[in-house]
Chains A and B, each alone.
Chain A
Amino acid sequence: MKSSLILATTVKYIIPLLLIFSFFLLLRGHNEPGGGFAGGLVAAAAYALYAIANGVEEAEKFLSIEPLKLFSFGLLTALISALLPLLAGKPFMTGVWLDNKIPVIGKLGTPIIFDVGVYLLVLGVSTKIIFSLAQEEE
């Protein structure tokens, strides 16, 4: 599915912005509107746009990781974040936080890791669905 040159060129500049925005949404989600779900969906939309402009194969290359692996990894990340408190001797899924703030990210704790897992999973699931369907049509 090749599209117009205008779209392709526009997308080239918009995509990085969208991806940065999605990352921004993920990180600030704990205190401002955003979070893993919204961030992951925005990123997925960016890749979907890319796929419409340049074709699925290009988009897959651009993503550079198989979406199936991506969402498995996301699920695993979320699971690990839930298991981490066990190491600290706390019940499953208790939020554990580092005392010191880290630049850019802010406070780091297992809920943030969990949110990153959600982000990766949502991105992986959405791209998987859209790429499979698009491939089907080609």
Chain B
Amino acid sequence: MLYAVVAGFIFAIFFPAAVRINKQAGKIAAAVLPLGIFIYFASFYNTITEGNVIAQSYNWIPSLGINLSFYLDGLSLTFALIISLVGFAVFLYTASYMEGNKYITRFYIYITLFMASMLGLVLSDNIITMFVFWELTSISSYFLIGFNHDKERSRIYALQALLITGGGGLALLAGLIIIANISGGWSISSLADLNELITGHKHYPIAAILVLIGAFTKSAQFPFHFWLPNAMEAPTPVSAYLHSATMVKAGIYLMARMNPSLGGTDLWQHTILIVGAVTMLFTAMLSLKQTDLKKLLAYSTLGVLGTLTMLLGIGSDLAIKAFMIYLIAHSLYKGTLFLIAGIIDHETGTRDITKLGGLRKLMPITMVIAVLASLSKMGIIPLIGFVGKETVYASALEFEPFGTLLIILAIAANVFIVYITIAVGFKPFFGKLKPTPKEPHESPFKMWFGPMILALLGVVLGMFSSVVINSLINFTEIGVINKKLNIPVKLWHGFNLELALSVLTVLLGVLLYFKRDNIVNTLNKISFTKYVKPSYYYEFLLSSTLSFAKFQTKFLQNGNLSNYAAMIIVATIFLGGLALVSFGGAPNIDLTFAPTFAEVIIGIILILAAISAVRAKSRLTAIVSVGVVGYSVALIFIMYSAPDLAMTQFAIETLTVILFVLVIYRLPKYLPFSSMTRRIRDFILAGLGGLLMSLIVLFIIAEPMTSELKKYFGENSLTIGKGRNIVNVILVDFRALDTMGEIAVLAIAAIGVYALLKLKSNGSEK
């Protein structure tokens, strides 16, 4: 499984080179990749539907308990199949849709990166690994929404999506870590058996809410829903793939995956139920004002995401079954419809439904596919969407005590979805032919082949639902509610209440479609205050963050070097002083060694030289004093058994003095710049800083110390390092990598000096 996940990443690395060799071959390879992954995962179908799970683990950071663990059960298999199959359709489609785009290579890299991350996300069994993949999907989504980076809107909305999903990701990480702390492990599959432990813990509410924030932002639940319609700025294959079929379902996946371990409590179920129901109805209603094909589809996706969430919130056996069917059905038809919208846009040059009509004769194949997907979406027999909606209604109905309320909400939302479907799937093809910016004709094979497969699959899965997906769904439910269900999936349940409600929904949807203009006119008369819109708060937060950053930069980073230094010093004194005070007590100073005469003399010379350097009025005095300080330090090294240090210090001091001598006459004259008050301020700061450091040293050396390393070096320096001078052996053998870094830094410093001087001579030539 590692290879299936990593394949995408490797592909993304080598793709640019492949394209350079042969452009067509590169694109074909890009479509073959998801197909191969699909076949690979399909081969596990029997194993999984026989009730097995497959777990694989590779060490990553074993010391932190972080492994690349993968876990394949019904739930992850379903997702992996959706990701790779829709991926195949989308990749094939892209080859034609993005034809001639200058950045097509980049596009393939991003989207393969996304596919690999998404697969990694649904297959991960390790909390941290899953989180890493989760963030990778957010990042690749950011790149893809902002793909047309020369458009300002793309950039703004890419950032919006990243900030919201990324912010949610941070909440998720916090939640996951709390859960890992409670459960004591990082494996997701083992969490399922710890439900009582986790939900009973006092930190459970905060963990659950944090995880849910992550899921809600990712799956665009109210009030975070607004990024999804805005994300429609992305090229259509991205909208089809990320923002309807896969990525936005990551949040849904997370809730489903965490359901066995975190679910069952009122907090969890009610939050999910309410948020899901609100999202479902609210976002479906917002679609009414839209005329853009993709925006319409985005709002219907939001409605479906809300429904899926609500089903998890209901949490009954039937609801979970409805959840799975609806999930599969939606991925199939919504991906298709997005691709169709892309085809229409590509062929006619517009996505505005008011400008489209009568395309059926010009684009017959596209029309058939669109109608198939639309019927599925509207929940018409015998498509998979029908099975899905029937089960959704059934599970809403049996929810006590609010079944009636829920079913009304569900029907209302679905009426809007039917309306959207008519607008998107039928309107462009029927009626009178309308003139469009481009002369429309049938799309090429590569574009309609993918959506056709998805649409046909919708028919097959619907008609033979009891055969094909029954067993898969039964085992998926283990992943969601930790028990196997045996409610068979059937196409036809007979004439019952759900069927009647379905018919009612479709009728109301058709009615809404024809009455739309009247309703919109009425709606336009009512003006809503901007404070109702969640996006207003997002924008407010964003702009306040920016202005705070501006203020803070002006305040803290005002370009004045001594201010920076003063701030650092104050902070250090404060924090260091705090630490010392909390450490408490006086250090146990060992005064048994009386200092010798030589030591005292050197100490006094050094201190006097330092003071003289500070007080010096002329540059020469200052430099001589600096030299005296340096040589005194070297003498200290000699006295306390560090001959290597002393030697280096002597040599360096000589070079420093030469350096100063070389430049001294060009150095600016010493001028007394500072005012008296500033000197006093600095004197106090510096004095406190010096005192603090002295105290720290005193405290440290008062503690006993045994150096394990000293012992190690003493024992191994000669045997392994073949040297008696341990300091040198450390430098060139034991810690040679550090030395390597140090000498590289030296080389950089020399190049920097050289470049700065060289730069000047060039500058003067100009």
B753 touches A128 (CB 8 A): yes
Closest to A93 in B: B736
The reply on B23 being an interface residue by CB < 8 A is no
Q: Mark B640-660, 1 if CB is under 8 A from A, else 0.
A: 000110011001101100110
Can you give 17 A-B contacts (C-beta < 8 A)? Answer: A29-B728, A34-B647, A35-B644, A35-B728, A35-B732, A37-B731, A44-B651, A45-B651, A68-B750, A68-B754, A74-B743, A95-B722, A114-B736, A125-B746, A129-B750, A133-B663, A137-B666
Choice from B665, B723, B724 contacting A137 with Cβ under 8 Å: B665
Closest to B644 in A: A33
A130 touches B736 (CB 8 A): no
Closest to A35 in B: B728
A67 and B750 CA atoms in complex are apart in Å by 10
A118 and B733 CA atoms in complex are apart in Å by 12
The reply on A78 being an interface residue by CB < 8 A is yes
Interface residues of B in 379-428 (CB under 8 A from A): none
Closest to A67 in B: B750
Interface centre among B663, B722, B728, B729, by most A CB within 10 Å? B728
Choice from A33, A72, A128, A133 contacting B647 with Cβ under 8 Å: A33
A118 and B754 CA atoms in complex are apart in Å by 20
The reply on B725 being an interface residue by CB < 8 A is yes
Given contacts A30-B729, A75-B744, A82-B737, 10 further A-B pairs with CB under 8 A are A25-B647, A31-B725, A41-B648, A41-B652, A48-B655, A78-B743, A79-B740, A115-B731, A122-B743, A125-B750
Chain A residues proximal to chain B, CB less than 8 Å:
25, 29-38, 41-42, 44-45, 48-49, 52, 67-68, 71-72, 74-75, 78-79, 82, 93, 95, 97, 107, 109, 111-112, 114-115, 117-118, 121-122, 124-126, 128-130, 132-137
A30-B729, A35-B732 are contacts. A129–B721 as well, Cβ < 8 Å?
no
A37-B648, A38-B648, A95-B721 are contacts. A137–B663 as well, Cβ < 8 Å?
yes
A95 contacts which chain B residues (CB < 8 A)?
720-722, 733
B655 touches A121 (CB 8 A): no
Label chain B's interface by main secondary structure: helix
B749 touches A125 (CB 8 A): yes
The reply on B598 being an interface residue by CB < 8 A is no
Q: Mark B707-749, 1 if CB is under 8 A from A, else 0.
A: 0000000000000111111011101110011011001101101
A34 contacts which chain B residues (CB < 8 A)?
644, 647, 725, 728
The minimal Cβ–Cβ distance linking A112 to chain B, given in whole angstroms, is: 8
Choice from A30, A67, A78, A121 contacting B728 with Cβ under 8 Å: A30
The 8 closest A-B pairs by CB, nearest first: A41-B651, A30-B723, A33-B643, A31-B724, A125-B750, A111-B732, A35-B728, A111-B733
The minimal Cβ–Cβ distance linking A54 to chain B, given in whole angstroms, is: 14
B643 contacts which chain A residues (CB < 8 A)?
33
Closest to A44 in B: B655
B725 touches A35 (CB 8 A): yes
A45 touches B725 (CB 8 A): no
B722 touches A107 (CB 8 A): yes
The minimal Cβ–Cβ distance linking A130 to chain B, given in whole angstroms, is: 6
Interface size class, chain B: 35 or more
The minimal Cβ–Cβ distance linking B193 to chain A, given in whole angstroms, is: 42
A134 contacts which chain B residues (CB < 8 A)?
662
A38-B651, A137-B665 are contacts. A30–B750 as well, Cβ < 8 Å?
no
A109 touches B747 (CB 8 A): no
A34 and B749 CA atoms in complex are apart in Å by 24
Interface residues of B in 257-310 (CB under 8 A from A): none
The minimal Cβ–Cβ distance linking B197 to chain A, given in whole angstroms, is: 43
Closest to B735 in A: A93
A124 and B451 CA atoms in complex are apart in Å by 66
A136 contacts which chain B residues (CB < 8 A)?
663, 666, 757
The minimal Cβ–Cβ distance linking A43 to chain B, given in whole angstroms, is: 9
Interface centre among B647, B659, B661, B662, by most A CB within 10 Å? B662
Closest to A48 in B: B658
A130 touches B655 (CB 8 A): yes
A34-B647, A133-B659 are contacts. A45–B654 as well, Cβ < 8 Å?
yes
B663 touches A41 (CB 8 A): no
B750 touches A133 (CB 8 A): no
A111 contacts which chain B residues (CB < 8 A)?
721-723, 729, 732-733, 736
A107 and B733 CA atoms in complex are apart in Å by 14
Closest to B652 in A: A41
A34-B647, A38-B644, A125-B749 are contacts. A132–B722 as well, Cβ < 8 Å?
no
B663 contacts which chain A residues (CB < 8 A)?
133, 136-137
Choice from B658, B727, B733 contacting A52 with Cβ under 8 Å: B658
B647 touches A132 (CB 8 A): no
A137 and B647 CA atoms in complex are apart in Å by 29
A74 and B747 CA atoms in complex are apart in Å by 10
The minimal Cβ–Cβ distance linking B635 to chain A, given in whole angstroms, is: 15
B655 contacts which chain A residues (CB < 8 A)?
41, 44-45, 48, 126, 130
A44 contacts which chain B residues (CB < 8 A)?
651, 655
The minimal Cβ–Cβ distance linking B730 to chain A, given in whole angstroms, is: 10
The minimal Cβ–Cβ distance linking A44 to chain B, given in whole angstroms, is: 6
The minimal Cβ–Cβ distance linking B425 to chain A, given in whole angstroms, is: 61
A33 contacts which chain B residues (CB < 8 A)?
643-644, 647, 725
A97 contacts which chain B residues (CB < 8 A)?
722
B754 contacts which chain A residues (CB < 8 A)?
68, 128, 132
The minimal Cβ–Cβ distance linking B324 to chain A, given in whole angstroms, is: 50
A31 contacts which chain B residues (CB < 8 A)?
723-725
A25 and B728 CA atoms in complex are apart in Å by 11
The minimal Cβ–Cβ distance linking B602 to chain A, given in whole angstroms, is: 20
A98 and B652 CA atoms in complex are apart in Å by 33
A78 contacts which chain B residues (CB < 8 A)?
739-740, 743
A132 and B648 CA atoms in complex are apart in Å by 22
B729 contacts which chain A residues (CB < 8 A)?
30, 111
A121 touches B753 (CB 8 A): no
B736 touches A82 (CB 8 A): yes
A28 and B451 CA atoms in complex are apart in Å by 76
Closest to A94 in B: B733
The minimal Cβ–Cβ distance linking B737 to chain A, given in whole angstroms, is: 6
A129 and B756 CA atoms in complex are apart in Å by 11
A56 and B729 CA atoms in complex are apart in Å by 35
A129 contacts which chain B residues (CB < 8 A)?
659, 749-750, 753
The minimal Cβ–Cβ distance linking A25 to chain B, given in whole angstroms, is: 7
